Amino acid sequence: MANADREGETRAREWTGAGGGDRDAPPRQRRPVRRWRPAACALTGVLAAGALGPGIAGCTRAAPDRSGTAAVEARPIASAAASAGAAPAASAAPAATPPGAAAGWRFESSLGVQIEVPADWAVNDYGCNMSDRPTVVRAQVYQLGCLTPEKPTKQVAQIGADAPEEVKKGPEFTRRDVSLGGVSAERTEGRGADGRHFGWLRIPSRQILISVRTHDPEIARRILDSAQLVSVDHNGCPDRRPPKAAHPGARAAMAPGDPASISICYYGPRGDVLRTSARLSGRDAAALAAALNASRPGPNPDVDPKQCLHPPAPPPADAVLLVEDAAGKGAIHVAFSGCTGRGLDNGAQRAHVNLPIIQRIMIPLGTGFTFNGDLSP
């Protein structure tokens, strides 16, 4: 993605980021957008590296235009810790949360599917200005539309929407029917003309395609072998957006002051399927909890309807934070991308959401995001 300072663009929706954008964002007026690199990016880069291992460094924030719309880019440049496509059908025979990944490998999940990838692969280093680093790709949309070509040296494992036309055919490729927990799938493998080993796992009933391109056929095979449908992923996130809590037992504070962990479950502004997830612990979890508890009480005001079209009802929360401490578990729903209904909600109280909180939630995911209106602290 281009990073020219003060670059003006005219779009109905502006999206940058390692994870692309969201086609479901609410409609807005067309306004020019100016982009610059703020000093705050250094802080968010350090936070993401702490959460996910060395690697996310830098971001690009779009200045709010007259409609109050802005976008932020999370730029992965080294190893870290969905393509967002059509939502899968209702879960059928999903697996429970699997045991930990093998040494040197890690789990990645999106759209109710979970795979293992080499632990040193990057996240969403694909599309705009991609490097030659191996990468997993998930929860990505607009960045895929850039003209940066994929080189034969690139290794990729992608979870995205079904695209049967992308599956290669020919005598060098073998196709067979397989089953994922009782759900029918189609697996195709072979060596491409560029020398890489290709693999695809189509799950037609879920409208999902896992595609792999590697130098080593064993790595491609292992990634495809690891695929499974899960109702709860490795970070504890349900494959479907949980209902908003509303019960007397919810915590008096927005979050516990000393959480053991916070799972970030990102569902996006439309649809209920999990797009991707991350888990914070230690100082990163405590820092997010402190930011949540320091937020101003009450929901954010709605964006001026003259600048942002209000939907008939507020959209669902973009993310759900599953917080765990010695007292138990709780959920905090976070809404920020819409024009209405924005804020934090733990079932007992509501508070403002702001840009620093959104950065602490979204940058560990390695995916871009957008927001409306003035969300300064």
Q: Which helix (H) or strand (E) holds 174?
A: strand 173-180
Could you give the domains of the chain? 105-229 (3.40.1000), 261-365 (no CATH)
> How far apart (Å, rounded) are the C-alpha atoms in residues 82 and 319?
13
Q: Quick check: 249 pLDDT over 80?
A: no
User: How confident is residue 245, by pLDDT bands cut at 50, 70 and 90?
Assistant: low
Q: Quick check: 17 pLDDT over 50?
A: no
> How far apart (Å, rounded) are the C-alpha atoms in residues 172 and 278?
38
**pTM listed for this prediction:** 0.76
At 327-372, the pLDDT tens digits run 889 999 999 999 999 999 999 899 999 999 999 999 999 988 888 7
> How far apart (Å, rounded) are the C-alpha atoms in residues 50 and 344?
24
Highest average pLDDT, of 60-69, 76-85, 106-115, comes from: 106-115
What pLDDT is recorded for position 251? 66
- Round the average pLDDT of the chain to a whole number and report it: 78
At 106-143, the pLDDT tens digits run 999 999 999 999 999 999 999 988 999 999 999 987 67
What pLDDT is recorded for position 248? 53
What pLDDT is recorded for position 84? 33
Answer yes or no: are the C-beta atoms of 333 and 345 closer than 8 Å.
yes
Highest average pLDDT, of 17-26, 34-43, 86-95, 281-290, comes from: 281-290
Q: What share of the chain is helix, strand, coil (3-state, %, to 5)?
A: 15, 35, 50
- Residues 279-303: what's their mean pLDDT? 97
